[in-house]
Amino acid sequence: MTRLLSIDPLHIDDALIQRAAQVIRKGGLVAFPTETVYGLGANALDSAAVARIFTAKGRPASDPVIVHIGERDQLDQVALNVPPLASRLAERFWPGPLTLVLTRHPSIPAIVSSGMPTVAVRMPSHPVALALLRAAQVPIAAPSANRFSRPSATTAQHVLEDLHGAVDLILDGGPASIGLESTIVDLTGDPPVVLRPGGIPLEDLRTLLPALQVQVRLLREDEDGILAPGMLYKHYSPRAPLLLFDGPHQSVVEAMRRTVLDMHSRGKAVGLLIASGERSSFDDLPALLFDMGGDLAAISSQLFEGMRSLDRQGVDAILVHGYDRVGLGLALWDRLLRAAEGRVIECG
């Protein structure tokens, strides 16, 4: 049975946190808010509990999960030979949306890291997540709290949609503020490599890591920085196919408008994910509009809610366009590209 409990991040109810910590210590699953997305947590030291995460999500055993810690000192209990660079990054960016890949400590069971000798670790900044981690007194393994390949959960409602019955307790601490997952940096080789762009922009990381590389598989910079289709497996995807348009803004708007009209004429229901400033370019069309907000931070925080909302309204396709790939925009582009299974409609 799944219980949903509301918790105010600004006035944390300690009794609720103790109850959730107890579920974790007994080998149960607790979904909890973080500043990036909701996590589906289990005691990271308990391989049977971690196995339940994979079952609940329908996640392949080959996809490792992130270990969350609530204190800096816990890092040495989950990772071996923590390099000075990791300590500097932790000092600068933790608690916060940065995940470090390090050498796995023997106390962390192999299932957490899909058998790899490494472990991904982060200290989230959300007060509910920190309170839970500190009360549980064990590291918590937690992937995003969505069914595998679905858009990540940024509200407790999204967790319920995907995992009702499969999770023991959901702590509802309101919508996640960033709305995109953490940036993952692999520190086990030289130079450090970004495995996933996320909440900490690469520009910020480069102030401490000038040699930082970005994994080729993720962002194969062709002439125009576009990934070849088929390089990505389906991820972050709404049920309706996502059509990703890119190019000069005016050409993109015209192509999106033509596509809406064409699909509508064939009896299809179309949804559009747009920015606030673009309403007047689209609001005369026979389509459902979801306004993600006015700036990159708002758009990022509403992306997954937008996909899920249009899905709930039963659209046959979701149209969206790329945004500037700077700062948080790189993570936004990465999620759009994966949701579109690597296919981009080039305009103009």
Residues that bind Mg ion (CB under 5 A): 144
What per-residue string of b and e applies to 201-211 under the rule 16 or more CB within 10 Å gives b? bbeebeeebee
Binding mask 105-124 for ligand TXA (x = CB under 6 A): --------x--x-xxx-x-x
Bridge partners, 100 (sequence order):
121, 185
Q: Of the two residues 65 and 303, which places its CB atom closer to ligand TXA in the complex?
A: 65
Q: How far is the CB of 248 from ligand TXA (least distance, A)?
A: 32
Q: How far is the CB of 143 from Mg ion (least distance, A)?
A: 5
Q: Which two tokens stand for residue 159?
A: 């967790």
Binding mask 11-50 for ligand TXA (x = CB under 6 A): -----------------------x-xx-x-----------
Taking CB under 6 A as the criterion, the residue among 195, 208, 226, 261 binding ligand TXA is 195
Q: How far is the CB of 287 from ligand TXA (least distance, A)?
A: 30
Q: Phi and psi for 21 in degrees, rounded to 5?
A: -60, -35
Alpha-carbon distance 307 to 240, whole Å?
9
Residue 301 in contact with ligand TXA, rule: CB under 6 A:
no
Using alpha carbons, list the distances in angstroms from residue 10 to 6, 14, 36, 165, 175: 12, 12, 17, 28, 14
Q: Phi and psi for 267 in degrees, rounded to 5?
A: 80, 15
Taking CB under 6 A as the criterion, the residue among 33, 64, 238, 322 binding ligand TXA is 64
Taking CB under 6 A as the criterion, the residue among 33, 143, 151, 342 binding ligand TXA is 143
Taking CB under 6 A as the criterion, the residue among 44, 45, 65, 299 binding ligand TXA is 65
Q: Which two tokens stand for residue 28?
A: 């149960």
Residue 339 in contact with ligand TXA, rule: CB under 6 A:
no
Partner that binds at residue 184, options ligand TXA, Mg ion, none, CB closer than 5 to 8 Å by kind: ligand TXA
Q: How far is the CB of 293 from ligand TXA (least distance, A)?
A: 20
Helix axes 296-312 and 156-163, enclosed angle (nearest 10): 40
Q: How far is the CB of 28 from ligand TXA (least distance, A)?
A: 17
* Contacting ligand TXA within 233-292 (CB under 6 A): none
Whether residue 31 contacts residue 38, with contact meaning beta carbons closer than 8 Å, is answered with yes
Residue nearest to ligand TXA (CB): 143
Residue 154 in contact with ligand TXA, rule: CB under 6 A:
no
Helix axes 296-312 and 329-339, enclosed angle (nearest 10): 20
Q: Which two tokens stand for residue 116?
A: 């790899």
Phi-psi region of 149 (alpha: psi -120 to 50; beta: other; left: phi over 0): left
Partner that binds at residue 96, options ligand TXA, Mg ion, none, CB closer than 5 to 8 Å by kind: none
What own/partner pairs with CB < 8 Å and gap ≥ 24 does 50-55 have? 50/109, 50/111, 50/112, 50/141, 51/111, 52/27, 52/28, 53/29, 53/141, 53/142, 53/143, 54/111, 55/166
Q: How far is the CB of 57 from Mg ion (least distance, A)?
A: 8
Among all chains, which residue has been given the structure tokens 């940065």? 98
Q: Of 14-22, 94-102, 223-231, 292-300, which segment contacts ligand TXA by CB under 6 A?
A: 94-102
Q: How far is the CB of 160 from ligand TXA (least distance, A)?
A: 16
Whether residue 229 contacts residue 324, with contact meaning beta carbons closer than 8 Å, is answered with no
Taking CB under 6 A as the criterion, the residue among 21, 54, 86, 99 binding ligand TXA is 99
Q: How far is the CB of 10 from ligand TXA (least distance, A)?
A: 21
* Count of residues touching ligand TXA (by CB under 6 A): 26
- The C-alpha angle with vertex 328 and arms to 326 and 332, in degrees rounded to 5, equals 95
Q: Give the binding site for ligand TXA (CB under 6 A).
A: 34, 36-37, 39, 63-66, 97, 99, 101, 113, 116, 118-120, 122, 124, 142-144, 181-182, 184, 195-196
